Structure 1
Amino acid sequence: MKVAKRREAMLRAVLSGMNDVSALCEHFGMSEATVRRDLRALADERRIVRTYGGAASVGMHEPEESLDTRRESFREQKDAIGRAAAAHVHDGDTIFLDGGTTTAALARCLSGREGVHVITNNLLAVGVLAQSDVRVTLIGGDVRPSSMSTLGPLAQVALSRLTVDKAFLGADGVVAGRGLCEATAEQAFLKECIIRQAASVFVLVTSNKLERASQQHWTPLERDWTLVTDAAGDAPALARFAQRDEVTVVSADAVRQAGDRVG
């Protein structure tokens, strides 16, 4: 097949949702090097966007929601996720809370807890925890107003000097076998720094973010981790996560139902 025709066929495959390099290799019977070269050429022509481990349609990346919108959306679901995640925080733990409104919901559940040390770049969480007895360490750096979090080189250096028992991360989207997507490269890389410094990793997302590749910057998840979401345990969106050995799925809905039965 001529190069031009092959790349047109690859473009159609990417636009149809075939986004992983491995899937494209299998589909076209080509080497990884050839697939990556063709994807890079299509990206240079601005016909697709390269992502971690694959590619995506240029038009599929969504504008980032405003902070006010995120604060008001899925509030009950985020509170349920926060409660489910809080059950994994024990006295004596040093934890990291990532930026975002879902991790801020976890912060509200931790307010008043004793014997927990919270390290965070989330200014929303600081506002909640600083009024309680929880020990809080704020990671410095550049303030990102759209998420009210800190990031950048100073935050990265600070993280390199710290370790935590558990890291609780948010994301714009999470894709099984690929990782977390974010609006900026700085956000994605900071999450990678956090993951390296944590003994255990938890990802807190509402069900609408499952298998959602809405942004083009990626943080790979190449270790054991726990997904905490409001999706019901038998939800189709959870199927790909439940099939992966490295992922433990915690359904906030299942946790709530168990609590109701006990009550």
Structure 2
Amino acid sequence: MKVEKRREAMLKAVLSGMNDVAALCDHFGMSEATVRRDLRALAGERRIVRTYGGAASVGMHEPEESLDTRRESFREHKEAIARAAARHVQDGDTVFLDGGTTTAALARCLIGRTEIHVVTNNLLAVSVLAAADVRVTLIGGDVRPSSMSTLGALAQLALSRITFDKAFLGADGVVAGRGLCEATAEQAFLKECIAGQAAGLFVLVTSNKLERASQQHWTPLERNWTLVTDALAEAPVLVRFEERGNVTVECAELMSKES
């Protein structure tokens, strides 16, 4: 294949969401050196941007949705994911709930669970759980109004002093082999701190966020973890996660209109 045609094919692959160098090598049957050379050339033409371990389409870093928009979007999907995640919480567990509307939905599923201890930086979850007499510990720090969560140095310090049986994380996007993407470096690092303190790790995201690199800051996930998403996730996308070897995939069914 001529260089020009090969690079056009690689450009189409990147634009379709194939962002990882290893995946591009497998797909095209080329060496890593050749793939990286082609990506550098495409980036030099400003047709893509280089990222750690791969590439992404130009302009891919999307503005964050408002909190009100996120509360309303994919509500049924988030509730299904929350119900599935809640089944992993056992009496006696200490669990961490990350910031975000999907983990806030999980908090609603834990109402009445008085034999658990919830640690969280999610102010939306605190208001739900505290009113229901669930034991809650709020991690302090700087308040981030766009997500109503806390983060920063104080939150990191508090996390270093406690461990969890299970941690439930949200994300702006999840990419197989790369991890979780977030809008800020502080968010990404805080998730890394949370993951390091948890015996079990769960990532709760709607299927539209799978293989979506919408932001430029990353939390790598090199340990075993469970991906909980909705049943609308496409099989080829899920396979890319399952092939990693350290990811267990769980798909949550939406409630039927009749139920």
TM-score (norm 1): 0.83
Q: CA deviation at 1:217?
A: 1.1
Asked if residue 29 in structure 1 is aligned to residue 31 in structure 2, the reply is yes
**Distance verdict in 2 for CA 1:51–1:136, change over 3 Å:** farther
Question: Which residue does 2:205 correspond to in 1?
Answer: 205
Q: Deviations over 1:99-127 (max 9, x none)?
A: 00000000000012111111100011011
Kept after mapping to 2: 8 A contact 1:52/1:218: no
SS of residue matched to 1:59: coil
Kept after mapping to 1: 8 A contact 2:22/2:32: no
Asked if residue 77 in structure 1 is aligned to residue 74 in structure 2, the reply is no
Q: Deviations over 1:162-215 (max 9, x none)?
A: 111100000111111211111111111111111111101000011111111111
Question: Which residue does 2:251 correspond to in 1?
Answer: 251
**Distance verdict in 2 for CA 1:89–1:110, change over 3 Å:** same
**Distance verdict in 2 for CA 1:74–1:232, change over 3 Å:** closer
Whole-Å separation in 1 of the counterparts to 2:10 and 2:148: 38
Question: Which residue does 1:155 correspond to in 2?
Answer: 155
Consecutive unaligned residues in structure 2, runs of 5 or more: none
Residue type at the aligned position of 1:230 = D
Q: Deviations over 1:124-160 (max 9, x none)?
A: 1011011012111111111111111111111111111
Kept after mapping to 2: 8 A contact 1:25/1:35: no
Whole-Å separation in 1 of the counterparts to 2:229 and 2:133: 27
Residue type at the aligned position of 2:161 = R
SS of residue matched to 1:218: strand
Question: Which residue does 1:54 correspond to in 2?
Answer: 54
RMSD of aligned C-alpha atoms? 3.0
Question: Which residue does 2:108 correspond to in 1?
Answer: 108
Whole-Å separation in 1 of the counterparts to 2:232 and 2:60: 26
Whichever structure has more helix as a proportion of its residues is 1
Consecutive unaligned residues in structure 1, runs of 5 or more: 1-5
Residue type at the aligned position of 2:198 = A
Question: Which residue does 2:94 correspond to in 1?
Answer: 94
Residue type at the aligned position of 1:224 = N
Percent identity over the alignment? 74
Whole-Å separation in 2 of the counterparts to 1:215 and 1:234: 22
Whole-Å separation in 2 of the counterparts to 1:22 and 1:147: 33
